[in-house]
Chains A and B, each alone.
Chain A
Amino acid sequence: MTVALPRWLRGLPVLLLSLILAYSLQAQERNVTGKVTDAKDGSPIAGATVTVKGSSRAVSTDADGTFTLTNVPATARTLVITSVGFSSQEVSITDGEIFVAMQASDAALNEVVIVGYGTSRKSDLTGSVASVKAKDFNKGVVTAPDQLLQGKVAGVQILSNSGAPGAATTVRIRGNASIRSGNQPLYVIDGVALDGRTARPGINAGGVGAIPGSNPLNFINNNDILSMEVLKDASAAAIYGSRGSNGVIIITTRKGAAGGQKVDVNASVGVSSMMRHLEVLDANEYRAALQKYGLESGDYGSSVDAMDEITRTALTQNYSVGVSGGNENGKYRISASYLNQEGIILKSDFKKYTAGINGSFKFLESRKLGLDFNVTVGHNTENTAPISNDAGFTGSIVGQALQWNPTHPLRHSGPNGGDSLWRIPQFGSTSINPLVMSAAWDDISNTTNVLAYVAPSYNLAKGLDYRFLFSVNHQVSTRKNQVRSYLNLENIEDRGLANVANGSLTTTQATHTLNYMTDLSDDFTLTALGGYEYMKFRYSGSSIFGQDFADVSTPYYNYLQYTTQGSRQIGSWDQTSELQSFFGRVILNYKDRYLFTGTYRADGSSKFGKNNKYGYFPSLALAWNIHNEEFMGNQSVFNQLKLRASWGKTGNQEFPAFASQETYVAGQQSFNRSTLENPDLKWETSTTINIGLDFAIAKNRLYGSIDYFDKKTSDILFDRDLADPVPVGSASTWVNLPGKILNSGVEAMLNYLVIKNSNFSWDVGVNATWLKNKITGFGQLVIPTGGLSGQGISGTTIQRFVDNKPLNVYYLREYRGINREGQAELVDDGASFFYLGDPNPDFLLGFTTNLSYKKFNLEISMNGAFGHQVYNNTANTVLPINNLGTRNIAKSLLDLNPQEALSSPITASSRYMEAGDYMKLTNATLSYNLGGFGRVVKSSTLFLTGQNLFVITGFSGFDPEVNVDKNVAGRPSFGIEYIPYPTARNIIFGLNFSF
């Protein structure tokens, strides 16, 4: 295949060109024009297909609903108009413009949604699948597509791991199910399953700490996305077997449509600034505090705001263009985009360039042979600021700025009147000027991703289709980092350091599927799918690290050969794993009333132990369309009433390659045992029950669904401590732990069209999720995680995985208040620990509303989470009262009564555990439909978007929607805040038009 593929691809451009040419060579008869609108409110319907009945002539409507069919034969009499979500309609061809008002089909029941390895009518679904279309995506500055869904889907929680442009997110579908890092959902783009990792290598940034990772979806052009489907229950996700346990997010890209050639252009420009400030003392408050505490030193006479100095009003530009078109034999789409997002912290930015082409062709007279293909290239350049997950007492740039004594200048006048940075502050040689930090630091990553697939298909017999998909997703990344020797950080000062690292991630996939659809009788239809899939994941890379550079301005990472031998660290790695799967699905539909779906997947993974090479993942589901029953024929309340129930198993195999084998890893001239053979190692299994009800009432003006789910995860993957004595480098082995992780909850989604008339419409959508989560059967096993960072808190862990408690439950000393001596007082003098709260929200809420008045549209999205606690590691160790006299403190400390003494210990306790409840206005977009201009511009829209406009919360940090990675030995933490990259508020102005 690796030989055969390029030969095919060589032929493709020729094919494509000839098809485009063929399309324009049609005989001319007459033109038919018109407009398609929604009968409900008269709004234009874009993308509806207008076909000349009895021929293959077809076009799509533009954004303003208009269409023009050229060269319609004189004999044609009728047009057929179809559009997703509407009943199809036939109209006679008349002279002059043809106006068509489309009736919505039952609560978008005939809407087609993408499911694993195929599509389904929404009305045929038996599982829990949420579909979000492009028009409902979050607007504004969005670097990776997962953020498009934030707050839009019940049961899905999306947290930023960092506010930096391009940073990774934490996505949780129906709660936390794993006590290892593999909690992210599986992403599938047009049938191509992603690896989930990024090729961007990690670096050893010395005392700066571990820099948060990049989002693995960064290479995608968001304007290429047509819809995203979230597969939540086992009926939907079991077809993805051992990778389906955390849910599946299917991304479907835009394709060309039959009809005229169309060009879409999006352009936007935005400014970003800090959403929320963390309250520290300004210079005058600081002087007052010194006086209050009777401190004679600590005032250096100046007045500076260091946080202000390291942040900026950042600019973002985003342009994209898509060209699409085609006819009944071939469709294509070409797109390109450019995003340049400055971060609000100095020296951080993200640039993305993408280009892609996809096509879909039918061949042969019978048009039985089809070919789909796609090539997308994405390139990112990231400049990352010195902000880490685990900075020590000297802090990362945000901590350094927050701690900076506001009376101490950041610069001093240079000899020639110019300013130079004040390198070592007078209030402590270990304190770092954040501007020096910024100047001394560079971290540049270049990541290129190529995703390509080719998928021929053949209609073997009536209803029987064969499809083969072959894809390669190849990502390479290089990263260069330096810390200049003038930074007064231990082991950096007078030495400097540099990293050069590269990573390469290649996923190859070959999927064969057979689809069969037949009517067994007039009332009985059968849809069946069978398939075989092979995937290969390869992750390799290398890194060089060195120290002790000459003090010249040449970037250190460009002459690593100068480094001292003893400082050098060199590493290289290569990990390959394979996955081989057989899967099938049967859907039975009786009279559109009774629906049955059964799926089965057998997954073999090279990562599994040799006694467990294959995992088996079945699911069964039933649905009952009650509204189609005869006895419902006379009622007028329900337009839809559907009951669903499903059961199934999905897996999680996110553990490292070689984990089941005995291996030794290399050190310098040494080998150490790393892993122990475990021939029984296997996937984690989640067994999910889902019961759901879909309904639509009041002529579809009110519709929604309620789902109850219960997910039990067993064979929990964990790298368990071995019995001492254990090898150096690894003291653990991967096992499937006894015990279970339980997640259960209720999801509700409700949409209501409040008002509609010809000028004005208003709809409201709410989604809500109630979640519960618990570990059982763990016995005495206690797994600590949530390691705090900062001065004086080494080795402190505050979360646990323990029997009968929620995952990541807080295990803390209990704070009682400040005593009369000004000391923080703890229950039992701090000798006892208690289970106090947990970071998992009990309740998630998403809210969307759309207001349209004539050509204006206002869309507002909010989301929130409630009933959980966030641990404020920043308040605990970066801004304690002890800093007064040297560094800055949290402003709220001055309000304490009795006054807290300067010697009050910073012991980690419930004092710093805060209610995490919040409601955030994530998105507000006001748009104005300018319509078309002349003969060229068919439609255009101006918009103004505000992102993260405000957040309502009692939390005292930058943003309660936070998850800084504070894992301990790879065991994930959750909901801890530690001097993160602050969240930005963005205001974006843009223009979309098409011609």
Chain B
Amino acid sequence: MKNKFIIATIMASMLFSCTKLDEPVDSAITGEQADQLFGGSNSAPPDISALLEGAYLSTRTPYQDQSRVWAATEHTTDEVIGPTRGGDWDDNGVWRVLHSHQWDADHAFLADTYRDLGRIVFATTDLLKFNPTPAQAAEARFLRAFAMFTILDGWDQVPYREVDGTLDQLPNIRRGTEAADYIMSELNEILPNLPDGPAHKANKDAARTLMMKLYLNKGVYADRANPSFAASDMEAVITLADQIINSGKYDLTDNFFDNFAPKNDQLSKENIWTAENRGGSSSGGVRFHWFAMLHYNNNPSGWNGFTTLSDFYDKFEESDTRRGMEYPGVTNVSGLRVGFLEGQQYNQNGVALKDRRGNNLAFTREVKLKETENNLEITGIRVVKYPVDYNNGDNVDNDFVYFRFPDVLLMKAEALLRTNRAAEALPIVNSIRTKRGASALATITLDVLLDERGRELYYEGWRRNDLIRFGKFLDAWQEKAPSGPERLLFPIPNRSLAANPNLVQNPGY
């Protein structure tokens, strides 16, 4: 008995002698495994489609969420206001400071936007080290170029690591013109390897459209306060536009809102580049385009948030279909119209809706940054640009639209106008206007063109870029005083500054 115990004890001791403490990674994969999986080996060909899919998905949050790029590019303009409604939408003042141009370097949404755009840059750079095919590399590099363009446009400072760089290395920074030139060189390099379509993949025309944006804004990135527009750059815009126009692939869609509807991948003739949302299975956050706007007692029941301003609303003629209309699959279901919603709202049976306190649900023209009256639930004209998808729950089918054909046309018109060819610009603008049910213009000026861009591209994330290029971003407008020149850029988030000493805070912050 005694010996048995002692032997057992000694055996036990030996079984538990020293371990090397190598940590097994059982439910994630290690860097080494990733190298094998994506780097390929003699036995298996490399397959990085999973990483490329991850890169595409990484664009969803920054571009399709109401609190990221869309907030930065729309709430800061005369198109959108996020009023505080008593007990609702205070959100620590994040919406108010965007509209009134009082944001600071701790602004949570701006900081998250900067980080999330960087995530696209990371994912698209990371996959390049795994020997992608030229076509895969071109897609990834296009996504990266687009994210870098958005960072450049908002913050001027674009951090990056080389393909073989590691996460613990501090990223270097490209600024202003240097960044614009880099993005342009990338686009030129990858253009031959990009596919022709479909719209929800990085494609040649998407690259051309982005190049147009870079040429058009080149002077902005050199000097945002006093941009100049070189004739050669404008010529490049026109050349690129003509390549897209002459491809014959695009035309103006008969129903303006078809471009944003569920199944817009089939309905739209205009969409050049989109983010694919698969109805019922996998989608980004584009549904905020109705949820964030609609009242609780609308169908669908919304979050009763953002509105537009009456001055912007008044830029539309009554006959302009872009201002709003009934839309099949929406109005017959719930009574809801699409476009701009002003005044009394009805359900599908024509019964007038009420707000939660029993007052008529009639959206008012007046709206304040901080509502102080008892009608605070119903203030402001609402905008629903993406027709509601009633069939797919959370995962709506509406593809998110980045680039549309009319933008290409309007950029061409702008380039013509900026090189004193108004006569050539006017018919382009009028071709859009007549298609939309608006009257044809007799003359065109830069101010008129800016308004037309607003009418066509409202809520699509271009207003801030346009207002800066047209020199109007610092002006006063409804619920906003004139702002200082530092507002032409967003501040580098304090969080990012702390993590990377290569970043320098933008002037004025």
Chain A residues with CB under 8 Å of chain B are 1, 4, 8, 295-298, 363-364, 369, 393, 427-430, 456, 458, 466, 468, 470, 490-491, 495, 510, 512, 532, 534, 540, 547-548, 564-567, 572-578, 580, 604-608, 613, 657-658, 660-674, 676-678, 720-728, 731, 733, 780-782, 791-797, 821, 823, 830-831, 877, 880-883, 885-886, 901-908
Contact = CB atoms under 8 A, between A and B. Distances in A.
A675 B393 CA distance: 33
Contact of B167 (A427, A722, A796): A722
B229 to A, nearest CB: 31
A676 B5 contact: no
B92 A793 contact: yes
Contacts of A904: 86
B159 A725 contact: yes
B31 A677 contact: yes
Contacts of A671: 29, 34, 37, 50-51, 54
Contacts of B430: none
Interface in B267-285: 278, 280-282
Nearest to A364: B2
Given A573-B27, A792-B90, A724 B58 contact: no
Given A4-B12, A428-B356, A468-B13, A580 B19 contact: yes
B450 interface: no
Contacts of A580: 18-19, 21
5 contacts: A547-B393, A722-B167, A724-B115, A881-B86, A903-B376
B22 A606 contact: yes
A574 B496 contact: no
B89 interface: yes
B499 A297 contact: no
A920 B21 CA distance: 47
B310 to A, nearest CB: 20
Contact of B282 (A427, A566, A678, A902): A566
Given A663-B31, A904-B86, A907-B92, 5 more contacts: A574-B26, A663-B28, A672-B54, A792-B88, A908-B90
Nearest to A494: B393
A731 B19 CA distance: 32
B13 A723 contact: no
A364 B1 contact: yes
Contacts of B94: 794-795
Contacts, number: 277
Given A428-B356, A721-B495, A731-B115, A793 B13 contact: no
A725 B357 contact: no
Contacts of B12: 1, 4, 468, 470, 510
A430 B23 contact: no
A545 to B, nearest CB: 13
Nearest to A609: B23
Given A580-B21, A613-B21, A908 B92 contact: yes
Interface of B: 1-2, 5-6, 8-9, 11-13, 15-16, 18-19, 21-31, 33-34, 37, 49-51, 53-54, 57-58, 67, 84-94, 102, 108-109, 114-115, 118-123, 125-126, 159-161, 166-168, 170-171, 278, 280-282, 296-297, 301, 356-359, 370-374, 376, 392-395, 494-496, 498-500
A578 B496 contact: no
B126 A673 contact: yes
A393 B356 CA distance: 15
B393 A495 contact: yes
Contacts of B29: 663-666, 671
Contacts of B160: 725
Nearest to B500: A723
Contact of B281 (A566, A608, A903): A566
B90 A458 contact: no
A392 to B, nearest CB: 10
A8 B27 CA distance: 34
B86 A903 contact: yes
Contacts of A468: 9, 12-13
A733 B379 CA distance: 45
B9 A724 contact: no
Nearest to A798: B92
A768 B181 CA distance: 67
A377 B438 CA distance: 78
B11 A882 contact: no
A369 to B, nearest CB: 6
A429 B28 contact: no
Contacts of B296: 428-430
Contacts of A429: 296-297, 301
Nearest to B25: A658
Nearest to B38: A671
Contacts of B115: 724, 726, 731
A191 to B, nearest CB: 15
A723 B170 contact: yes
Given A573-B27, A670-B50, A882-B86, A733 B167 contact: yes
B108 A791 contact: no
A446 to B, nearest CB: 23
Contact of A795 (B5, B88, B109): B109
A725 B121 contact: yes
Contact of A296 (B22, B67, B91, B358): B358
A490 B301 contact: yes
Given A726-B122, A728-B58, A821 B372 contact: yes
A567 B392 CA distance: 10
A937 to B, nearest CB: 40
Contact of B21 (A566, A578, A823): A578
Contacts of A821: 372
B376 A456 contact: no
Nearest to B18: A580
A572 B26 CA distance: 10
A882 B89 CA distance: 12
Q: Closest 7 CB pairs between A and B?
A: A882-B87, A566-B281, A297-B358, A725-B118, A724-B118, A662-B31, A723-B500
B92 to A, nearest CB: 4
Contacts of A495: 393
B399 to A, nearest CB: 16
Nearest to B298: A429
A831 B102 contact: yes
Given A657-B23, A720-B499, A905-B370, A1 B51 contact: no
A722 B301 contact: no
A885 B357 contact: yes
Contacts of A458: 5-6, 9
B492 to A, nearest CB: 10
A670 B57 contact: yes
A298 B86 contact: no
Nearest to A821: B372
B87 A574 contact: no
Contacts of B8: 4, 8, 456
A912 B121 CA distance: 41
Contacts of A794: 67, 91-92, 94
Nearest to B371: A903
A795 B92 contact: yes
A796 B15 contact: no
B23 A607 contact: yes
Contacts of B34: 664, 671
Contacts of A883: 87
Contact of B23 (A298, A428, A547, A661): A661
A821 B374 CA distance: 13
Contact of B122 (A297, A728, A908): A728
Nearest to B354: A297
A222 to B, nearest CB: 32
A606 B392 CA distance: 46
Contacts of B91: 792-796
Given A665-B28, A796-B91, A904-B86, A670 B51 contact: yes
Contacts of A456: 5, 8-9
A907 B84 CA distance: 9
Given A491-B394, A567-B393, A903-B372, A830 B93 contact: yes
Contacts of A658: 23, 25, 28
